[in-house]
């Protein structure tokens, strides 16, 4: 049913990318703030091994993937002000940002490890800042701590190792919400064995035990038709 999607490696063609408007970042021909470290696989993710945006959206259509719309609706139902500063993490081609924009949100940034995906996201014109950064264990995200009111994700935590959640929490202000849509465990285990034995749920709970966040009442919520006619979950955690 759910398979790990295998994406063709593609190069990043800077000449086809959108021009910067920000004076301070003229060296960046994509209009996307790129953050690289000396870690070799990060360079690979940012330059040669990016996801193929066109292929991605075709495959999602075939899967009837509704995560972006579902998470945006649940997030909006929390009564969050439209001008809140929101980070769409693992934003891909911008489907979550676009769903939020349709709901009236005006201050959204995007971060993803793939420049190719972010170039497509930029075309959706729903983001203020777009950051290319490959999230990895024990590496801080390239934004200030507590600098976002809220964080939103869909289809992210089966790709980004969920043990990166503490770095993700650290960029959200105390009292902010981290909200994500994710598939059911049986489907996730098929993609990523790390989800077996309830390890993801246990990890989320362990961060509650460390007083990093708490569940908003009523979450996680079962949502219908996440993808492939299968239900999924929307989580909403309040950062402490
Ligand atoms: C399934 S897509 C989800 C995209 C978008 N949120 C959506 O719902 O359409 C997963 C995204 O995660 C990004 N990604 C995977 N691993 C990552 C990492 N370690 N750091 C940053 N982005 C990563 C990929 O580049 C891809 O765009």
Overall size of the chain counted in residues: 240
pLDDT in tens, 176-187: 999 999 999 999
User: Which residue(s) pair with 88 in the sheet?
Assistant: 110, 152
pLDDT of residue 30: 59
With a CB cutoff of 8 Å and minimum separation 6, the contacts of 6 are none
pLDDT digit string (tens) for 78-106?
Answer: 999 999 999 999 999 999 999 999 999 99
Range of lowest pLDDT (50-59, 113-122, 142-151): 50-59
Instruction: Decide whether any atom of ligand 1 lies within 6 Å of the 155 Cβ.
Output: yes
The packing angle between helices 115-123 and 53-63, to 10°, is 70
Q: Is 232 in the pocket of ligand 1 (CB under 6 A)?
A: no
Tell me: domain 31-239, CATH 3.40.50.2300, correct?
no
Q: pLDDT category, 34, cuts 50, 70, 90? A: confident
Mean pLDDT, residues 234-238 taken together: 98
How far is residue 100's CA from residue 177's CA, in Å, rounded to a whole number? 15
159 C-beta closer than 6 A to ligand 1 = yes
Averaged pLDDT for residues 31-44: 55
Is ligand 1 within 6 A of the CB of residue 134? yes
Q: Return the residue whose CA atom lies nearest to atom 15 of ligand 1.
A: 159
Query: What percent of the chain has pLDDT above 90?
Result: 73
pLDDT of residue 21: 29
- Ligand 1 atom 13: residue of nearest CA: 90
What is the rounded distance in angstroms from the CA atom of residue 51 to the CA atom of residue 173?
30
Ligand 1, residues 96, 156, 180, 228: which to mutate, most atoms within 8 A of Cβ? Answer: 156
pLDDT band at 2 (very low <50, low <70, confident <90, very high): very low
Domain boundaries, the chain: 31-239
Ligand 1 centre and the CA of 137: distance in Å? 15
CA of 157 to the centre of ligand 1 (A): 8
Q: Give the distance (Å) from ligand 1 centre to CA of residue 211.
A: 27
Residue 237 token pair: 């955690």
What are residue 97's phi and psi, to 5 degrees?
-60, -40
Task: Kindly state the greatest CA–CA separation across the chain.
Answer: 50
* Confidence check: pLDDT of 45 > 70: no
CA angle 74, 225, 159 (to 5 degrees): 75
Say which range, 35-39, 59-63, 160-164, has the weakest mean pLDDT: 35-39
The H or E element containing residue 154 is strand 148-154
């Amino acid at each position: 049913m759910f398979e790990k999607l295998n994406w063709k490696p593609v190069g990043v063609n800077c000449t086809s990318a959108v021009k910067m408007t920000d004076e301070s970042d003229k060296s960046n021909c994509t209009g996307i703030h790129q953050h690289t470290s000396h870690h070799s696989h990060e360079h690979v993710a940012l330059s040669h091994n990016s996801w193929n945006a066109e292929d991605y959206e075709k495959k999602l259509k075939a899967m009837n993937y509704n995560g972006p719309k579902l998470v945006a609706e649940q997030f909006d139902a929390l009564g969050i002000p439209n001008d809140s500063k929101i980070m769409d993490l693992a934003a891909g081609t911008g489907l979550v940002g676009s769903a939020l924009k349709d709901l009236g949100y005006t201050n959204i940034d995007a971060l993803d490890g793939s420049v190719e995906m972010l170039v497509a996201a930029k075309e959706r014109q729903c983001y203020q800042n777009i950051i290319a950064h490959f999230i990895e264990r024990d590496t801080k995200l390239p934004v200030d701590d507590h600098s976002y009111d809220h964080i939103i994700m869909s289809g992210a935590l089966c790709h980004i190792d969920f043990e990166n959640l503490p770095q993700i929490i650290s960029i959200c202000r105390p009292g902010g919400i981290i909200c994500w849509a994710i598939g059911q465990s049986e489907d996730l285990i098929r993609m990523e064995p790390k989800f077996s034995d309830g390890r993801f749920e246990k990890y989320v709970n362990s961060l509650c035990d460390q007083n990093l966040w708490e569940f908003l009442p009523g979450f996680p919520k079962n949502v219908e038709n996440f993808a492939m006619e299968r239900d999924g979950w929307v989580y909403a955690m309040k950062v402490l």
